[in-house]
Structure 1
């Protein structure tokens, strides 16, 4: 599949991904980073591009939650170390 087509598909889910991350993290910069990591992770899933919209949304949701929890945990660790 063409790179530009893949980017176009990922962009359709960019806002959804960020909304999930921001809801969970409640910190704009960390949410942006978590969303970026989630989308980069999903970009490597070859099946994502041929999945149905519902399956894509489920993958975005799971990956966004996972990355948000990692960022939240890293943020808490950083705060306790300072």
Structure 2
């Protein structure tokens, strides 16, 4: 995962990750620009499903992307 500093737009390095739940992770990042030195926490969370899991967890509900052909998906999963 690459991200840039929201202040100086320099590259950042991930220093720590914390799994908060099965669908939410917090990531601590540090700006690589020593003149900036910004340290921050970002969140990572699934937003939509592009390809469903072959071993889905019934407790995880992430919506299917609107660009997916649902009829074709249902057909493929039923085969």
TM-score computed with the length of structure 1 as normaliser: 0.27
Higher relative contact order (CA 8 A, sep 6+): 1
Greater strand proportion = 2
TM-score computed with the length of structure 2 as normaliser: 0.28
Greater helix proportion = 1
Which of the two has higher C-alpha Rg? 2
